[in-house]
Amino acid sequence: MTPYKMSELHSRCMPNYQNWSADYYRTLLKSKNSIFHIEEFGFGFARFSKDEGEIIMIMIDPSFRHKGRGTLLLKKLLDDLKSIGCKKIFLEVGSNNEGAIALYKKNNFEKIGERKEYYSLKTGGKLNALVFQKVL
Ligand SMILES: CC(C)(COP(=O)(O)OP(=O)(O)OC[C@H]1O[C@@H](n2cnc3c(N)ncnc32)[C@H](O)[C@@H]1OP(=O)(O)O)[C@@H](O)C(=O)NCCC(=O)NCCS
């Protein structure tokens, strides 16, 4: 999947959020603190610093969902973060994103907080972020 396709998938998966351009993805792909797992059906992206990691996003093409692929990419990211010494993993997710919240809870992430009006939506509205943590 090219950076262009990643940007296109991003806008299809998260139509209410600001899009990330292909150029932005190109920059992230080169960053030393980024971990990507990229497949034809989607991609997962994490970042790390010292012993902490953050799952930034998992995007699965709508026609490939509900078949364990989100779980697969999440597990690959967690394995990589663990192998480089990360002990705690964090993530933020939109408070109305039921599918992602269920995926993270099923993989033993615990809710540790909520950030009010964290996301600015394309519609002009705001959305809270739930903060989850997993200790490896
Ligand atoms: C969230 C997302 C990554 C899940 O991908 P997926 O490949 O469908 O996930 P899986 O098949 O591995 O599902 C694993 C579990 O997550 C939960 N889940 C996934 N999608 C769900 C949904 N729409 N509603 C409720 N639970 C859901 C279920 O518990 C599921 O287990 P089950 O199949 O045994 O019921 C996918 O829906 C997606 O790309 N969404 C848009 C982008 C996004 O919001 N990403 C996450 C935040 S960055």
Measured in Å, residue 134 CA sits from the centre of ligand 1 at: 18
pLDDT at res. 48: 97
Question: What are the structural domains of the chain?
Answer: 3-135 (3.40.630.30)
Instruction: Report the residue among 7, 65, 96 best suited for mutation to probe ligand 1: largest number of ligand atoms under 8 A from its CB.
Output: 65
> Global pTM?
0.95
Phi, psi of 120 (to 5 degrees): -100, 120
Here the tokens at position 98 are 């039921």
Give the percent of the chain with pLDDT over 90.
96
Task: Kindly report, residue by residue over 28-39, the tens digit of the pLDDT.
Answer: 999 999 999 999
Residue nearest atom 9 in ligand 1 by C-alpha distance: 70
Instruction: Give the pairing type, strands 110-120 and 52-60.
Output: unpaired
Which helix (H) or strand (E) covers residue 98, if one does?
Answer: helix 98-106
> ∠100-27-21 over CA atoms, to 5°?
60
Distance, C-alpha 44 to centroid of its chain: 6
> Where does the pLDDT of residue 129 fall: very low under 50, low under 70, confident under 90, or very high at 90 and above?
very high
Which ligand 1 atom minimizes the distance to the CA of 72?
Answer: 12
